[in-house]
Chains A and B, each alone.
Chain A
């Protein structure tokens, strides 16, 4: 994400705090695709991720006062999305669940050339969830490791380690698959 987009999101968030529904519409348009992909990577179920996306924007609305102008918007709303997922997972763990569908997980562009869509999807699914999350946040959505650390409650170097191990796992899985 470049500086222009960063500043635009900050301006939209500030306008939304001032009561602009148009700013909310634009924020939704700018953030919903990446948030949905993130929630799919966490839930591994597209339809469920879509429900959580709506809940994330409702929580964003409830907490809009807590946003401080000047702070990057995406780490803030991704943290809320992650919290919505964690709360939902806690609720769902109390009752039996149906088998998850194998979702269409997003794939970082720098590994997309290593295999076809189906193999990439299977390989992404096989990467450990915490590594996959850090990998996607950094390589697909461009978060810095410091931002990932603040989002996940870990240190920046731990976030970097998770991401690089996730990438190594992904490359290994795809390479093994190519040989096999």
Chain B
């Protein structure tokens, strides 16, 4: 039914020919995510190195400090891999798969919050709530920005057809990587504080990713 379309229309061919130059094909989403690994590792150790490890670290043990933070960082990197896969036409993720990724993140964050609180219940002292809340919220968001920017650049180069879906995924990933380090420094395990500042910070970075991806689109 379309035999007459077998030859390229001259106007289209002229436009293509005028702009035709060799391009280097993109590598796999996994390989491209390796660019972010140094940032993720820096985020993991930065807060603990600069400000010191949380005071209750010996009580909650290495599993719930470094172990959980490394797992959180790896989950963040996995979400970036998913976002970069989503960014390639023809390999978009099913809505349910996106839901599974985001649901897994939520469950992991809640489980870690409850486990830490169970092992070491520490509350913010009265009068300091707003100050500590603002430090942890701002710290999570600001420290996530480098990973967010690099992931956004990697995604935009891959021609995402649903940039906001990709943005939300790498936004959550960047937020998780930032909080993986930030939680090693924060002394407070009170779920109200953790969910209201750390988890809210991750959610806000996800929203930033969504908006950022919508703005930069495809490059």
Binding site for B on A (CB under 8 A): 14, 17-19, 21, 24-25, 28-29, 32-33, 36-37, 40, 50, 53-54, 57-58, 61-69, 71-72, 75-80, 82-83, 104, 106, 147, 149-151, 153-155, 158
Contact = CB atoms under 8 A, between A and B. Distances in A.
26 contacts: A17-B22, A18-B22, A19-B22, A21-B16, A24-B8, A28-B7, A32-B5, A36-B5, A37-B1, A53-B5, A54-B9, A57-B12, A61-B16, A65-B23, A65-B157, A67-B26, A68-B26, A71-B88, A75-B90, A76-B91, A78-B90, A80-B161, A82-B161, A83-B161, A150-B91, A153-B94
Interface string B150-173: 000000011101100000000000
B92 interface: yes
A77 B21 CA distance: 20
A67 B25 contact: yes
A52 to B, nearest CB: 12
A154 B9 contact: no
Nearest to A82: B161
B54 interface: no
Query: Could you tell me the dominant secondary structure of chain B's interface residues?
Result: loop
Interface in B196-219: 218
Residue in A28, A58, A78 whose Cβ sees the most chain B Cβ within 10 Å:
A28
A83 B28 CA distance: 22
A107 B199 CA distance: 51
Contacts of A33: 1-3, 5-6
Interface in B8-42: 8-9, 12-13, 15-17, 19-28
Interface residues of B, number: 40
Nearest to B27: A68
B94 A155 contact: yes
B8 A50 contact: no
A65 B156 CA distance: 12
B15 to A, nearest CB: 7
B89 A19 contact: no
Nearest to B7: A29
A150 B94 CA distance: 7
Contacts of A150: 90-92, 94
Nearest to B89: A79
A14 B25 CA distance: 8
Contacts of B3: 33
Interface in B137-159: 157-159
A153 B92 CA distance: 6
A24 B20 contact: yes
Nearest to B9: A54
